Amino acid sequence: DQQVKQNSPSLSVQEGRISILNCDYTNSMFDYFLWYKKYPAEGPTFLISISSIKDKNEDGRFTVFLNKSAKHLSLHIVPSQPGDSAVYFCAAEFGNEKLTFGTGTRLTIIP
């Protein structure tokens, strides 16, 4: 039972354009959402988070949008840079600080 889903295994975007990564969840109890970026042979690096009481959070080039009625969140990266090429994981949490991760989306930025 995959409670957090990232349905796009991969995404390619031209440098300078917007990258949009999507994530869907099924458990309405989730109240905190995070995005992590992962390079090969490294641990996930925290990017940005959002509480369920908000619908948008912005940090520099990164913006996360949360649509609770659709149980959907997205990460926007503008403008995309070559260093953004990595695997991006969406994660969700409720109550007990356990993170439930999606399967990841591999983002490739084309110079």
Contact map string, positions 90 to 109, toward another protein, x by CB under 8 A: -x-x-xxxxxxxxxx-----
CB closer to another protein, 4 vs 13: 4
Site for another protein in 16-35 (CB under 8 A): 31-32, 34
Provide CB contacts within 8 A for 22, sequence distance 6+. Answer: 6, 7, 8, 72, 73, 74, 105
CA distance 110 to 52: 33
Binding footprint of another protein, residue count (CB under 8 A): 26
Question: Strand pairing partners for 54?
Answer: none
Per rule CB under 8 A, is residue 60 in the interface with another protein? no
Nearest to 38 by CA among 75, 80, 85, 5: 85
- Contact positions vs another protein (CB under 8 A): 4, 31-32, 34, 36, 41-46, 49, 51, 89, 91, 93, 95-104
